[in-house]
Amino acid sequence: MSMPSWSMLRSIQNSDRVAEHRLRQGTTRRILRYARPYRRDILVFLITVVLAAGIGVATPLLAGHVINAITDGDPDAASTVIRLAVMIAVLAVVDAFLSLAQRWYSARIGEGIILDLRTKVYDHVQRMPLQFFTRTQTGALVSRLNNDVTGAQRAFTSTLSGVVSNVIQLVLTAAVMFSLSWQITTLSLMMLPLFIIPARRVGKRLAEITRESYNLDAKMNATMTERFNVAGAMLVKLFGRPGAEADRFGERAARVRDIGIQQAMFSRTFFVAMLLVASLAQALTYGLGGWLAVTGSVTAGTVVTLALLLTRLYGPLTALSNVRVDVMSALVSFDRVFEVLDLRPGIEERPGAVDLPAGAGRVEFRDVHFRYPSASEVSLATLEDVATLDRTENAPILRGVDFTVEPGQMVALVGPSGAGKSTTSMLVSRIYDVTSGAVRIDGVDVRDATLDSLRDTIGVVTQDAHLFHETIAENLRYARPDATDEDMWEALRGAQVAELVAALPEGLDTVVGERGYRFSGGEKQRLAIARLLLKRPSIVVLDEATAHLDSESEAAVQRALAVALEGRTALVIAHRLSTVRDADQILVLDAGRVVERGRHEELVAAGGLYAELYRTQFAAASPAATFADDVEIVTVPAGQIEP
């Protein structure tokens, strides 16, 4: 007997949730655009579905003719039965080939759409502003690339084929059954409500425990992600909490086990109920049909045909009763993917953008104002796991910043936390765009420059130098994919880390581990500097590159930085006093404005904010002392800073 699939029960349990979702205007039209490249495959796929549905109805009819040929006593009954049996066998072979063709076209269409959507979403997410990633739950974003994309794919595979197949099968089956015996068909269909109504109640209860299961799975995944990375594992060990973590995880896993048992029983109840109702309907068919056959109203073959067709009637009827939910589920998945695609990228290349001139690296800030975008401008409530996004406009971080940095100088941006130092450096590399005013490099507004030339011109080393879980060579080539081994060794020598890499058994092919944790902080920084040297930018941004390093590591990194900064413009954000003292010019930021500028000795003698920072943060008068607050330094080749 043909039984309903799990997807049928899933559509019942999801009905309430799906019904509450409001699709945005134009969703269907956008979906059709994704289907257009596969329209021929979809047409062939639908033809195979139609033919398979026809075979599903034809086979019971032939089986009925076999019974009639046997019971009629015709002298040619034997040859008739053999001929009909051969026809049934041929149909079975054709149906098998159609099934394979359906699966091939279904996979081709579905996997093609998954590829198109995933690559488009991944590319789009990469272009989102940095604040998008600071607000978004990584797991929720990954879910859009996996679960929702897969759900969208079902629109052109299981949902589309299911609807077409069920409609054709239902129409053909019902037409044949009513033509054979409307009495038996009507009586058989009277059993259907006995299944549909209880199934919906079971589905609602199953939906509740399924949602709880999904939530618990998500929490366990989040727990494992946090505890299994290097930093999380270290924290657990430092506080001696492995036992408590195991107990906490065990409680959630136990609840998932209990829910799994409940799900299994509810699912089995659903299928048993369907089997029972369909079996009772078959019993009615055999009972009434047998009585009619005995009285001569119908033939024995007709009774067998009706009984076989009945098994092909209940499944499509039940599935089509939820067809709106199936279609809506697929549309909702598409809609959730489109939500991400409709978020505006933070940085886009303007039409007609020009390449930055190679060389010099002159940096200008002209009346620069900046505020960070609000949550509603860069994020989605569903990705942050909140009811609504905050639409409050953020306060300005920079208020009319003006300065010019000529090539060849080291310039420090100094000030208390929150003064706008890091923000200033991020505007140069166009991590964000100014709210008003302009940032220019060699006379070109960075918003008018091509993104490729901007990335080639500027190199950045951050406080937490990030390395991918790949080999040293792959991490270095991230800056310059065409770099040769000799290019990389030259960069490693300049970064004072070549001897370390050469001493490793696998050399450049050494896997650095998650976030580069196989190396010390100073070693990671020097590898990051080597990556920068390999890139050969004319402007360098050092974002507290020596913060939190011990004296020996700092000394090694400073030697590497001396090579990295030679002849280059640099924005350096650092804690170390030695870096600040070497600056050609120091800009003191406070509340988003440049309040002082000059060299170290001049600013100390002036007795302003910088002098106050000096007295409080450099009281020890040690070259190795550090600011309690962050100090930002900007380095530019020999030249001058103009207000």
pLDDT score for 583: 81
Q: What is the share, in percent, of the chain residues with pLDDT greater than 90?
A: 10
- Are residues 292 and 437 both part of a single domain? no
How many angstroms separate the Cα of 377 from the Cα of each of 123, 217, 438, 507?
19, 30, 21, 45
pLDDT band, residue 369 (cuts 50/70/90): very high
**Is residue 640 very low, low, confident or very high in pLDDT (cuts 50, 70, 90)?**
very low
Residue 528 lies in a domain: no
414 in the same domain as 316: no
Same domain, 434 and 323: no
Residues 327 and 433 in one domain: no
In a domain, 369, yes or no: no
Residue 97 sits in the same domain as residue 225: yes
Spatial CB neighbours of 308, under 8 Å, sequence gap ≥ 6: 59, 60, 63, 64
Q: Are residues 335 and 446 in the same domain?
A: no
Residue 126: CB atoms within 10 A of its CB come to 8
320 shares a domain with 443: no
Q: Is residue 374 part of a domain?
A: no
Q: How many CB atoms lie within 10 A of CB 112?
A: 17
Give the total number of structural domains in the chain: 2
Of 103-117, 128-142, 237-251, 265-279, the range with the highest mean pLDDT is 103-117
In this prediction, residue 64 has a pLDDT band, given cuts at 50, 70 and 90, of confident
Q: Which tokens hold the place of 153?
A: 């794919």
- Candidates 182, 186, 30, 232; CA nearest to 113 is 30
pLDDT of 324 reads 64
How many whole angstroms separate alpha carbon 269 and alpha carbon 209? Answer: 15
- pLDDT tens digits for 279-293? 777 788 888 888 888
**Cα torsion angle, 554, 557, 558, 559, sign:** positive
Task: Out of 397-406, 414-423, 532-541, 559-568, pick the least confident.
Answer: 559-568
pLDDT value of residue 439 = 94
Please tell me which residue, 597 or 461, carries the higher pLDDT value: 597
Tally Cβ neighbours within 10 Å of residue 537.
Answer: 21
What CATH number does the domain containing 410 carry? Answer: 3.40.50.300
Given this model, what pLDDT does residue 384 score?
A: 72
Min mean pLDDT across 6-15, 311-320, 330-339, 511-520 is at 6-15
Q: What's the confidence (pLDDT) of residue 434?
A: 92
Question: Which of 298, 320, 341 is the last residue before a domain boundary?
Answer: 341
Measured between alpha carbons, how far is 595 from 415 in angstroms, rounded to an integer?
A: 10
Query: Which region holds residue 420: left if phi is over 0, alpha if psi is between -120 and 50, else beta?
Result: left
Q: What is the rounded distance in angstroms from the CA atom of residue 266 to the CA atom of residue 439? A: 63
Mean pLDDT of the chain: 79
| In the predicted structure, residue 641 carries a pLDDT above the cut 80 | no
Alpha-carbon span 86 to 62, nearest angstrom = 10
Residue 366 pLDDT: 93
- Shared domain check, 129 and 21: yes
Neighbours of 110 (CB within 10 A): 20
Helix, strand, coil % over all residues of the chain, rounded to 5: 65, 10, 25
Q: Residues 389-407: what's their mean pLDDT?
A: 85
pLDDT value, residue 203: 60
Q: Which of 21-30, 178-187, 416-425, 476-485 has the lowest average pLDDT? A: 21-30
CA quadruple 438, 444, 450, 452: dihedral sign: negative
Contact in structure between 63 and 308 (CB atoms under 8 Å): yes
What's the mean pLDDT in 372-392? Answer: 75
Domain containing 92 equals: 6-341
pLDDT confidence of residue 437: 94
Pick the last residue of a domain from 341, 366, 389: 341
The predicted structure's pLDDT at residue 623: 45
Domain membership flag for residue 506:
no
Predicted local confidence at residue 380, as pLDDT: 78
Find tokens 């029983």 and name the residue: 265
Domain final position from 292, 322, 341: 341
Mean pLDDT across the stretch 469-479? 89
Question: What mean pLDDT do residues 256-261 have?
Answer: 84
Q: Is the separation of the CB atoms in 548 and 521 below 8 Å? A: yes
Residue 170 within a domain: yes
Asked if 303 and 452 sit in the same domain, the reply is: no
More confident residue, 538 or 617: 538
Is it the case that residue 374 has pLDDT exceeding 70? yes
Distance from C-alpha of 525 to C-alpha of 554, rounded to nearest angstrom: 10
State whether residue 622 is helix, strand or coil: coil
Q: Is residue 66 part of a domain?
A: yes
**Structure tokens that stand for 623 in this block:** 């070259």
Q: Residue 297 is part of a domain; what is its CATH number?
A: 1.20.1560.10
Residues 25 and 166 in one domain: yes
Which range (15-29, 48-62, 473-487, 605-619) has the least confidence?
A: 15-29
**Is residue 486 domain-resident?**
no
Mean pLDDT for 397-416 is 86
Same structural domain, 329 and 437:
no
Give domain status of residue 571, yes or no.
yes
Across residues 62-70, what is the average pLDDT?
Answer: 85
Give me the pLDDT at residue 18, please: 47
- For residue 446, the model assigns a pLDDT of 92
Q: Specify the DSSP element, H or E, that contains 414.
A: strand 410-414
Mean pLDDT of 600-625: 71
